[in-house]
Amino acid sequence: MKLQLVEGRGHPNVRATHRTTFELTRESHLTPRGDCIIAVSADKAAADLDRSFVQELRGGWIWIGLVVGSRVEVVKARGSIDITSSNKVKLIVRRSTFIEPATVGVSADKAAADLDRSFVQELRGGKRLVALLAASQRALEYREFLGVLVDHFPPLGGTLG
């Protein structure tokens, strides 16, 4: 299993109403039309992910733990041999199987519209979002990923590494 930490922040224009994707972007601005974007000013885009992480992801699985304040959302998606992870601006997780350079997960069990509205409200307040991405060649159980999240996630008392 390979781990990556991505940090960004919410924005007053976060709507999180897109039904098929969610996105983190390095850009600092957000218009109301960006209904899939859940965080701006991200410290990583798809191209910034470690190559060993991307290799683990290709043909495997990805779990994403999203934390804002004390609120946590967990998303599970598939990797794909076709993922290039080459976009330098954004990182996208999709419900569909469509792949482009920003895609890091497909066939996800959640999109922006599925996030709890209290979680989204925290993002609208501009709060810091921390995402732990775990890529694995085998399908992890939900409880197994929660253990990884607690053990390795700095806001929950763990350390990434």
Rounded Cα distance, 104 and 48, in Å: 12
Kindly give the pairing relationship between strand 21-25 and strand 61-68: unpaired
Q: Determine the pLDDT at residue 151.
A: 79
Q: Which DSSP state fits 40? A: B
**Exposure string for 56-76, b = 16+ CB within 10 A, e = fewer:** bbbebbbbbbbbbeebbbbbb
- Sign of the Cα torsion 15, 16, 22, 25 reads positive
**Proportion of the chain in helix, strand, coil states, percent, rounded to 5:** 20, 30, 45
| Closest to 91 measured CA to CA, from 39, 137, 53 | 39
Q: Determine the pLDDT at residue 157.
A: 52
User: In what helix (H) or strand (E) does residue 51 lie, and over which residues does it extend?
Assistant: helix 51-57
Q: Determine the pLDDT at residue 160.
A: 47
Q: Which two tokens stand for residue 27?
A: 């850009």
Instruction: Tell me the pLDDT of the chain (161 aa) as tens digits.
Output: 999 999 999 999 999 999 999 999 999 999 999 999 999 999 999 999 999 999 999 989 999 999 998 899 999 999 999 999 999 999 999 999 999 999 999 999 999 999 999 999 999 999 999 999 999 998 888 888 888 777 776 555 545 44
* DSSP codes, 68-118: ETTEEEEEEEE--TT-----SSEEEEESS----TTEEEBS-S--GGGS-HH
pTM for this prediction? 0.91
What architecture (CATH level 2) is domain 2-156? Sandwich (2.60)
Counting DSSP H helices and E strands in the chain, the numbers are 3, 8
Q: Which two tokens stand for residue 131?
A: 């995402």
- Give the start-to-end residue ranges of the domains of the chain: 2-156
